[in-house]
Every structure is written in structure tokens, then in C-alpha cells.
Amino acid sequence: MSAAATNPRRVWNVIQSPVIHTGIFAGVLLVGVMLGSLIAATRMPQFDSIAALRNLVCFGAFGLVMTIPVARYFGSPWRLFTAGITAWSILAAAYAGATMFFDNLVNRLGMTPLHLLMLGGVIYGVLAVGVWVASSVVSLIWHHAPVAHVRPIEVPTRKR
């Protein structure tokens, strides 16, 4: 193991990066949306009559918060994925904690915390690949390769 891998300053620099800050910010917002939707679904019976609307609002809030890393790092797929997976890891950890307080949550949603983490990895992975492909296509369109100019070749005739 090299000394650079265990350098505390290097670890501190990683924590101080804006990518990790964006991921933490989005993760805290995702946890807030998750807790709000859980409390609205389990502790507020007045929303039971409009459960479909309640669920639609919660899905919309999740989708809106998930776009924070996408909007911030649209031109950089690696940063997008890193910020997104950081946010989703925080959400998965909070979901694991919520399963202790909300009975039968894993069975009700049909998803363990590991499944939730893998779902976020797949979603942000596909988004990062899509951004990479889109930026490659745009780059190909705008920076087209120069066309070689073809000049006719004169073949000398043989004298007999």
C-alpha cells in the first residue's frame, strides 16, 4: 500500500469535492422526501382517500430531487454517477434505518436496502451512459472531421 493511498489530506480533499457535496445535498433531500412520504402514508389517515394522488406527488418529488446531480453534472458522466450514487447510498442507509421503525416496510415495498441501492446504481449508471453517448454525438456533429481534398494523379505516359 502506498503512502498516497493512506494520506489523510487526500481523503479530506475527496470529502471536500463539490461532487460529494452535491451527492450529500441530494441524498439529504431524498431522505426528506422518503420520510415525508412514509409519514404521509402511515401516520396521516386523511390522505388515504387520495392515496393515488399522494403517491404521484411523492414519485414526482423523488424524480425532481434525483435530477439534481443530472442537472449539475450534465456534461461529465463520471461526476454525475459519483454524485448520484452518493445520494442514493445515503437514501439506502436511511431506508435501512426506516425499516426498523416502520413495521413490514420491506415486505410492503418489496425491496430490501440492497435492492434499493442497486436500483439507484442502475438508474444513475444508465443516465451517465446516456449523457456520455449524447455528448459524444453532439461532439461528433459539431466537430466534424476535415474532409481530405482529392487531387487527380497524373500518370506519366511512357515514351517508346
State the residue for C-alpha cell 422518503: 34
Does residue 153 belong to any structural domain of this protein? no
Does residue 156 belong to any structural domain of this protein? no
Question: Range of 73's domain?
Answer: 8-142
Does residue 83 belong to any structural domain of this protein? yes
Does residue 51 belong to any structural domain of this protein? yes
State the residue for C-alpha cell 451527492: 23
Question: Residue 72, CB half-sphere, CA atoms under 13 Å: how many?
Answer: 21
DSSP one-letter string for 1-44: --TTTT-HHHHHHHHTSHHHHHHHHHHHHHHHHHHHHHHHHHT-
Residue 25 reports pLDDT greater than 80: yes
pTM across the whole model: 0.79
Question: Residue 51, CB half-sphere, CA atoms under 13 Å: how many?
Answer: 7
Does residue 148 belong to any structural domain of this protein? no
pLDDT class of 121 with cuts at 50, 70, 90: very high
Does residue 3 belong to any structural domain of this protein? no
Give per-residue pLDDT as tens, 69-102: 999 998 899 999 999 999 999 999 999 999 998 8
Q: How many domains does the chain have?
A: 1
